[in-house]
Amino acid sequence: MAVGTFLEALREALLEEMEDDERVFLLGEDIATYGGAFKLTQGFVERFGPGRVIDTPIAEGGIIGAAIGAALMGLRPVAEMQFLDFISCGFDQLTNFAAKVHYRWGQPVPIVVRGPGGAAGGGPFHSQSVEMYFIKTPGIKVVEPSTAADAKLLLKAAIRDPNPVLFIEHKGLYRAPALREELPDRAAVGELGRAAIRRDGSDLVIITYGAMVHKSLEAAEQIAREDGAQVRVLDLRTLQPMDDAAIMEAVRACARVLIVHEDTRTAGLAGEITARINEQAFEWLDAPIRRVTALDTPVPYNKNLEAAFLPQVPDIVRAARGLLDY
């Protein structure tokens, strides 16, 4: 097995799927000649040619619309948003068309819309968490991996899925040295809709996803070291559909729940998870469900303000200790 970063895992997934299935092609801004804003597709056009690695105008609605048309003709397009913030320009195509075609007349639309999301010094137009705009839209699957291995496994699964998939890649994870790991072999494909336990424990569960998985793990280790409590960390991986079974099993095992996400507080995924737990496992709770999230503001550009905006390890530790002491 090769060892790679999060970004290299995504490259490997795209390369393998393009080699194995000639229906798979890429389209997006600056992905061919320039190799992508983060160099994720560097060398792809030389390998597969301009017919399968297509530079597009800066027109996200056109990119997603062209992907939909290609999918309806039997291809499997992977459309890159240079930054996921600008997926808003293609919102109509994705939510009002791609998400509804299979329901309306039974025609699958196997497109993947992928790109970098999350805060990593990019300011209010290049750092947003966009997942909740789409999680509420029936017909779209939403995936956000936290590890290099999952990045590869789940991107391959997304490309093979017959439904539209929004694949969110936290840009802060792309080249993180700590995320270098052995990548799954060519034959391995992930399964959408399955959560993963990243750290076991029975005193409290942190439910999280994306980059916050790593801050939650750090917080859990600190609590174990300083307080002796064992905190489970549940990585959702797929946000739509969510793995309700894994969530409820964790509630039954731990009885205390903390939800952590980088998205803003109001109407963030924590509210939906809380509602599901109240409906399905309320009697197992020994304390109120709590959440640690970003602030309800645009993402600041200044690094100190961004740090104050985002959930940090001390915030997670403080909230977890409050629940453990409840």
Q: Other CB atoms closer than 10 Å to residue 163's CB: what's the count?
A: 17
- What whole-number distance in Å separates Cα of residue 81 and Cα of residue 38? 12
DSSP 282: G
- Identify each DSSP E strand in the chain by its residue range: 3-4, 24-28, 53-55, 76-80, 112-117, 141-143, 165-170, 181-182, 196-199, 204-208, 231-235, 238-240, 257-264, 290-294
CB 15 within 8 A of CB 45: no
CA-nearest of 160, 3, 21 to 12 is 3
Q: Other CB atoms closer than 10 Å to residue 85's CB: what's the count?
A: 22
- Strands 181-182 and 3-4 come out as antiparallel
The one-letter code for the residue type at 141 is: K
First-to-last C-alpha distance (Å) of the chain: 46
DSSP-derived secondary structure for 225-238: HHH---EEEEE--E
Q: Which of 126, 170, 214, 261 is catalytic?
A: 126
- What whole-number distance in Å separates Cα of residue 239 and Cα of residue 193? 8
Q: Other CB atoms closer than 10 Å to residue 155's CB: what's the count?
A: 28
Catalytic, 170? Answer no
Find the helix packing angle between 313-324 and 212-227, rounded to 10°.
50
Residue 137 backbone phi and psi in degrees, to 5: -95, 110
- What whole-number distance in Å separates Cα of residue 160 and Cα of residue 157? 5
Q: Which residues pair with 238 in a beta bridge?
A: 143
Catalytic residues: 126
